[in-house]
């Protein structure tokens, strides 16, 4: 094959489409039995996207845009999966995909990539392209005696296709990040009793979800070109304008009015109230305290409310969750208990439930909403070997190192869509995915036109890019939170800030500059000579 692509979600579908348009032979490997990527696996009750539906989709095809109409402001998992199935069928992509097939290893040897799958198949390919996603490798904490539990347990990212019977059960949910906040109100409606095990409280802003009327959709489609252009050249890949540059110079009444207006609008529009929210501690504390007061207003019991109020990190320094269906109000129910496992940690699983330092919680079902080994987990799960047998997991033992999140020095013709040190999870993913796929496809087209066989980042370019990413993150308030952005949710994982925090527009312009300067920072060659060190 000319190219092997791993994954058939948003990234893999568009990547395979672009490569086929170039006339390349392509094979896609997908371990699920269908397309969808993360939206195939994450079927838990309440699973929904936190980007607005009209921008959580592809923009590259006028026909697809014209033929698909979203039903809600924020699409649910089944609708997103239906959309990706529609795209795969509309573009006739399924014949490129080997379903229920997992890539076990990929080795660069004798000028090609040899890719081996779990069924023993091997394929040689010039290009090896990872479309595995940033949030696809589930993380399950290694609690003491986990297997001693007599009940059932599930991870939200591997939810059974047939669903889970929670009716009348005593259910425990571990985790209160974005997934837990979506899940908890849904489980509370069905369970006899719900216990929520919270280590770190989060700031959840109302999403203000609603059905999209035909008139609203017509207005969107009439302005789609402008909407997409605004999204591509924005901070988060979302076409929302900042309300104010900062709180400085505004009266208390003006600040309160601006925050309340964006609170009522909901979603990521709230994060766009003040431009310096993630840079200026004073602005952030004003925003954070506004959110804390909103939580206190919504939770009836003052003691429970204070446990739900975040005080250990600034707003936005962790992934800002959305509240779709009354997360905080759920804790007003008599059949819901909040277990503070920061104050009283989980010590072990017991046959009858979960034991903390304070209590034994008797449970029938446990749900892990504990997230992912983010950004690197799915890449590291494959045995990827580059020049001279170098192993990616060993090269990244102290943290990932890429150039632009697109390539890895020592691994020729390897491309990583939304890899570490790209905007990725700090952006509206389809916008970043399309930009990456287009960059990779254009690069391969250029290589073929110019007679190049290999592309590889120069080591010093990668080092410089990683240093710039970390330096920028240190200047922002991300450095004040122990988050999965830094690998803090996985014991033993290097504490390195993995996404590029400078914004989608800044990143896009840097990628364009690299191309305009002849793929600056990359070594393009016809042979396998190691990339030369530049003199600068």
Angle (CA) 425-209-291 rounded to 5° is 70
Token pair 């929670």 is found at 166
> Encoding tokens for residue 132?
């595995």
- Confidence at residue 527, expressed as pLDDT on a 0 to 100 scale: 83
pLDDT tens sequence across 226-244: 999 999 999 999 999 999 9
Determine contact, residues 51/428, Cβ cutoff 8 Å. Answer: yes
Phi and psi dihedrals of 355, rounded to 5? -105, 130
Alpha helix (H) residue ranges in 354-428: 377-381, 392-395
Q: From the centroid of its chain, how far is CA 307?
A: 27
According to DSSP, residue 311 is labeled: -
* CA–CA distance, 455 with 525 (Å, rounded to integer): 7
Determine contact, residues 197/172, Cβ cutoff 8 Å. Answer: yes
> Encoding tokens for residue 319?
């992934």
- Confidence at residue 6, expressed as pLDDT on a 0 to 100 scale: 98
Is residue 114 packed enough to be buried (19+ CB in 10 Å), middle (13-18) or exposed (0-12)? middle
> Terminus-to-terminus CA distance in the chain, angstroms?
38
Is residue 217 packed enough to be buried (19+ CB in 10 Å), middle (13-18) or exposed (0-12)? middle
Pairing of strands 127-130, 3-6: parallel
According to DSSP, residue 343 is labeled: T
- Its pTM stands at 0.96
- Confidence at residue 535, expressed as pLDDT on a 0 to 100 scale: 40
According to DSSP, residue 387 is labeled: G
Which uninterrupted H or E stretch holds 146? Answer: none
Neighbours of 335 (CB within 10 A): 12
At residue 401, the 3 state secondary structure works out as: coil
Q: Which residues of the chain have pLDDT under 70?
A: 529-536
* CA–CA distance, 39 with 45 (Å, rounded to integer): 13
Determine contact, residues 274/246, Cβ cutoff 8 Å. Answer: yes
* CA–CA distance, 416 with 6 (Å, rounded to integer): 10
């Amino acid at each position: 094959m000319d190219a092997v692509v791993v994954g058939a979600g948003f990234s893999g579908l568009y990547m395979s489409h672009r490569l086929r348009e170039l006339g390349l032979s392509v094979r896609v490997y997908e371990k699920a039995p269908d397309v969808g990527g993360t939206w195939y696996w994450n079927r838990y009750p309440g699973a929904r996207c936190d980007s607005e539906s009209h921008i959580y989709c592809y923009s590259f095809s006028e026909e697809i845009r014209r033929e698909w109409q979203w039903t809600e402001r924020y699409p649910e998992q089944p609708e997103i999966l239906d959309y990706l199935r529609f795209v795969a069928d509309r573009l006739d992509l399924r014949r490129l995909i080997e379903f229920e097939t997992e890539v076990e290893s990929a080795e660069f040897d004798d000028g090609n990539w040899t890719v081996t799958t779990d069924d023993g198949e091997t394929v040689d390919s010039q290009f090896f392209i990872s479309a595995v996603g940033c949030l696809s490798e589930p993380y399950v904490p290694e609690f003491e005696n986990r297997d001693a539990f007599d009940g059932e347990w599930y991870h939200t990212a591997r939810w059974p296709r047939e669903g889970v019977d929670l009716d009348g059960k005593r259910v425990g949910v571990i985790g209160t990040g974005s997934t837990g906040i979506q899940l908890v109100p849904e489980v509370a409606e069905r369970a006899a009793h719900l216990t929520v095990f919270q280590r770190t409280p989060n700031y959840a802003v109302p999403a203000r979800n609603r059905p999209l009327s035909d008139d609203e959709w017509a207005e969107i489609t009439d302005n789609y070109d402008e909407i997409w252009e605004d999204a591509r050249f924005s901070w988060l890949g979302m076409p929302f304008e900042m309300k104010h540059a900062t709180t400085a110079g505004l009266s208390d009444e003006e600040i309160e009015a601006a925050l309340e207006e964006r609170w009522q609008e909901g979603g990521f529009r709230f994060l766009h109230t003040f431009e310096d929210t993630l840079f200026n501690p004073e602005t952030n504390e004003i925003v954070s305290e506004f959110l804390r007061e909103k939580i206190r207003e919504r939770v009836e019991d003052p003691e429970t409310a204070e446990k739900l109020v975040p005080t250990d990190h600034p707003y936005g320094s962790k992934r800002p969750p959305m509240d779709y269906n009354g997360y905080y109000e759920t804790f007003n129910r008599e059949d819901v208990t909040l277990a503070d496992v920061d104050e009283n940690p989980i010590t072990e699983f017991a046959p009858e439930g979960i034991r903390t330092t304070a209590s034994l919680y008797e449970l029938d079902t446990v749900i892990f909403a504990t997230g992912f080994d983010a950004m690197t987990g799915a890449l590291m799960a494959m045995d990827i070997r580059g020049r001279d047998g170098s192993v990616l997991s060993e090269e990244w033992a102290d943290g990932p190192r890429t150039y632009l999140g697109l390539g890895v020095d020592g691994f020729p013709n390897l491309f990583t869509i939304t890899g570490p040190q790209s905007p990725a999870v700090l952006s509206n993913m389809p916008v970043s995915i399309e930009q990456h796929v287009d960059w990779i496809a254009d690069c391969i087209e250029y290589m073929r036109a110019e007679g190049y066989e290999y592309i590889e980042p120069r080591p010093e370019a990668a080092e410089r890019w990683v240093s710039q990413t970390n330096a920028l993150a240190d200047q922002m308030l991300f450095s004040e939170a122990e988050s999965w952005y830094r690998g803090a949710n996985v014991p033993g994982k290097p504490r390195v800030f993995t996404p590029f925090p400078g914004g989608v527009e800044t990143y896009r312009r840097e990628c364009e500059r690299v191309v305009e300067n002849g793929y600056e920072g990359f070594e393009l060659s016809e042979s396998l000579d190691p990339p030369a060190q530049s003199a600068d």
